Amino acid sequence: QFPLGRRLPCDIYWHGVSFHDNNIFSGQVNKFPGMMETVRKITLSRAMRTMKNLFPVEYNFYPQSWILPEELSLFVEEVRTMKDSDPSWKPTFIVKPDGGCQGDGIYLIKDPGDIRLTGSIQSRPAVVQEYICKPLLMDKLKFDIRLYVLLKSLEPLEIYIAKDGLSRFCTEPYQEPTLKNLHQVFMHLTNYSLNIHSGNFIHSDSVNTGSKRTFSSILCRLSSRGADVKKLWSDIISLVIKTIIALTPELKVYYQSDIPAGKPGPTCFQILGFDILLMKNLKPMLLEVNANPSMRIEHEQELSPGVFENVPSPVDEEVKVAVIRDTLRLVDPQKKKRKDTHLSFHTYLLIFPTQFQSLLVGIAGMKDKQHKHHSLKLSLKLKFYLKLGSCQALEQAREGSQEVPEAALPSLCLKQVFPKYAGEFSHLRLVDRVAALFIRFLGVKGTTRLGPTGFRTFIRNCRLSNSNFSMAAVDILYIDITRRWNSVGIEKESGMCLQAFVEAFFCLARRKYKSLPLHEQVLALIEVCECRLAALRRRRLVWGCG
Ligand code: ADP
């Protein structure tokens, strides 16, 4: 911590909340610019809707959502149409304020007319979502899963998933929603921060009982019931990859704005918290993505009314320590320099003092004698430094080039899923390519909005206007779409945001390739644009040479 400000550059910057710091020119930061904005409930719902429009089957893991207040009448109308076509459909909806967390302000409704318009919905936008009425229960209780995902790099895309996560339980037996039980938060909302206040909350020292358990303990129970947990994992991996694919276009726009290409800057990584609900049929559904998941390894216990004490939570420790440890292992700058898989002695000493025993056990099990000898010598030094515990000793350790062999560390809990499974998902990365076109025409570095001239240049360079689509029509398209997006956006900036550009692009694609399904229309237009821009670049090179 640098209470008085930082002077020297660091290898790794571990920020508490967001990326923002204008003085970082190297190293790695544990936050991406714009991540908080990108995963807000409304922005996430919009990104998921864009992907659902392109790939309805692939993106059916996100509950149908509407944005309030702007889509209130659309919501009312669509629900009425669905009810008319299927009178047996008795839905429930969950209303969640944008930017809210820990269950704050959430309520359930049976009828769209019950949206609470009193209490200025205008000033507090929200998402209303289809409520998943048939969740998988365990011990008659609803629970959700918190999984930790490391976005190690945006370009090229690198994603890791933690092999274990947390399961957070409700504290009242679940019943399907009725008008009578809609308000019972301990039955319907799995938030730890809410359920901890229930008299039924069970703190447990075991990772497979109580109101917070490891996800692996749930998988064990499911497996013993004969469930196909392999398929469940593979569905969860798909959900995570597809969600990140939906988020990357927006993230890339923020990234180039804060860290312009060609200028010195840091690279970024980030640990994200994915909240997932399993349906009765074991289908995982995404609830939300947290940019700043809690990494606390203790919980509050109420000793007497209103008096709380922090006590260690073995479940949190088991899952979260491994996530942070492995994130540091994966982004370890020393690793890059040495190009081998050793973690620096200093790093080891700082993050694993309590795991010293497992290091010794690891060394005892080593087969390679020379390696074992080296490691034993090292472990003795470690013991010495740990006993001494002085800064001087740490410094000495750092200056010497002692290293702890990776083989002696616990195996990685973070599993790489992308690019490992890239082949199965690359066809979904269409909006990424649209975002690349958008970024290319932004012009001024540091901006996230496209001006009218940039949009005109895009149309002209890609040769998209013709006698049926004049430049005047291009201007009208720009003004119409931009004005609408700017009236609903949170930021009151001028210019065309990425989402507006994507809408304009889809509109152009529909106009040009009328008979194809939307994703084919968009792909065809992307290919035309990329091809024409490449040809233009070639021509300019030739002119340049001439
Ligand atoms: P918050 O950020 O306030 O925690 P969430 O979106 O995570 O908001 O919702 C809070 C809780 O509400 C979730 O943990 C889950 O138990 C429940 N929940 C949210 N969305 C749904 C849904 N569509 N269907 C069923 N339960 C939901």
214 CA to centre of ligand 1 in angstroms = 19
pLDDT (tens digit per residue) in 118-152:
555 455 789 999 999 999 999 999 999 999 999 99
**pLDDT of 405:** 63
322 vs 350, higher pLDDT:
322
Nearest-angstrom CA–CA distance, 295 and 450: 38
- Tell me the sheet residues that pair with 126: 68, 97
Q: So what's the pLDDT on residue 117?
A: 64
Please tell us whether the domain made up of 428-543 is placed in CATH 1.10.238.10: yes
Quick one: pLDDT band at residue 406, thresholds 50, 70, 90?
low
Residue nearest atom 1 in ligand 1 by C-alpha distance: 101
The Å distance, Cα 127 to ligand 1 centre, comes to: 11
pLDDT at position 383 is: 46
Give pLDDT, residue 265.
85
Q: Report helix, strand and coil shares of the chain as percent, to nearest 5.
A: 45, 15, 40
Arithmetic mean of pLDDT, 224-242: 96
Q: What does residue 62 show for φ and ψ, rounded to 5 degrees?
A: -115, 125
Cα(336)–Cα(55) distance, integer angstroms? 38
In this predicted structure, the answer to whether residue 546 has a pLDDT above a threshold of 90 is no
> Cβ distance 515 to 508 under 8 Å?
no
Tokens read off for 47: 């990104």
- Taking the CA of residue 131 as reference, the ligand 1 atom at the shortest distance is 24
Closest to 498 in 3D by CA, of 254, 231, 214: 254
Question: Residues with beta carbon inside 6 Å of ligand 1?
Answer: 63, 94, 96, 100-104, 106, 129, 131-132, 144, 189-191, 275, 277, 287-288
Kindly give the distance from the C-alpha atom of residue 129 to the centroid of ligand 1, in angstroms, as a whole number: 10
- Residues pairing with 12 in the sheet: 28
Give the domain 12-63+132-323 fold: D-amino Acid Aminotransferase; Chain A, domain 1 (3.30.470)
What is the 287 CA–ligand 1 centroid distance (Å)?
6
Cα 103 to ligand 1 centre (Å): 7
Digit-coded pLDDT (tens) for 451-508: 999 999 999 999 999 888 899 999 999 999 999 998 876 666 789 999 999 999 999 9
Residue 402: is its pLDDT beyond 80? Answer: no
Kindly tell me if the per-residue pLDDT of 234 is higher than 90. yes
For the ranges 47-56, 284-293, 405-414, 436-445, the lowest mean pLDDT is seen at 405-414
Nearest CA to ligand 1 atom 27: 131
Which pLDDT score, from 0 to 100, does residue 358 have? 47
Cα(276) to centroid(ligand 1), Å: 9
How confident is the model over 374-391, as pLDDT tens digits?
454 454 444 434 433 333
- For a ligand 1 pocket test, name from 41, 93, 106 the mutation site with the most ligand atoms within 8 angstroms of its C-beta: 106
Domain ranges of the chain: 12-63+132-323, 428-543
Strand blocks (E) in 216-342 = 267-268, 270-278, 284-290, 298-304, 307-312
Nearest to 518 by CA among 423, 430, 453, 444: 430
